[in-house]
Amino acid sequence: MIHWLALTPLLLLASCGPVSRGFDAGWTERAAQDRIMLVRDQPETLGHRRLVHQSIDHPDLRMFLGMKGQPDFIAETSSEQRQYLILYYLKGRHAFAGRSKRIPGAGMEFAGPYPMTPREAKLLGQFKSQAGLP
């Protein structure tokens, strides 16, 4: 069994810039696939848009976010039958992993929190700083 956070190195092809032109900027699952994305609502980033979309499709995620708050970064990947979502919280230096079937409305299972490695925390902190965030 693959540890969900073991996917992190594959996901570090970051997509952290603001989203400015809707579908032209890639608000699709394909654009989010295998990327770590900054989650910011103003200006809206692809990560925020994907988090909103996933929250609509998966009520369990919406409840999770209501309890834990919005993450700083998310990463998405999928297989033919499953979707995987990793939520990174820099303040606590931890991450949660979620998985669900690729069906809107399907339940989402969560695992974690997992401690972030110092390298992950440093890299994501740099991405956040480059985006002009504290």
Q: Span 39-46, mean pLDDT?
A: 89
CA-CA-CA-CA dihedral for 42, 45, 48, 49, to nearest 10: 110
The closest alpha carbon to 19, from 51, 44, 52, belongs to 44
Q: 130: pLDDT confidence band, cut at 50, 70 and 90?
A: confident
Q: Check whether 34 has a pLDDT greater than 90.
A: no
User: pLDDT, tens digit, for every residue of 91-114?
Assistant: 999 999 999 998 878 899 999 999
Q: Check whether 56 has a pLDDT greater than 70.
A: yes
User: pLDDT, tens digit, for every residue of 72-88?
Assistant: 999 998 888 898 999 99
Specify the pTM: 0.76
Reading the block at residue 89, the tokens are 């919280």
Q: What is the pLDDT of residue 19?
A: 41
Average model confidence (pLDDT) across the chain: 79
Does 3 or 92 have the greater pLDDT score?
92
In the chain, where are the structural domains located? Answer: 4-130
Question: Per residue, what are the HEC states of 21-59?
Answer: CHHHHCCCHHHHECEEEECCECCEEHHHHHHHHHHHHCH
Q: Check whether 51 has a pLDDT greater than 70.
A: yes
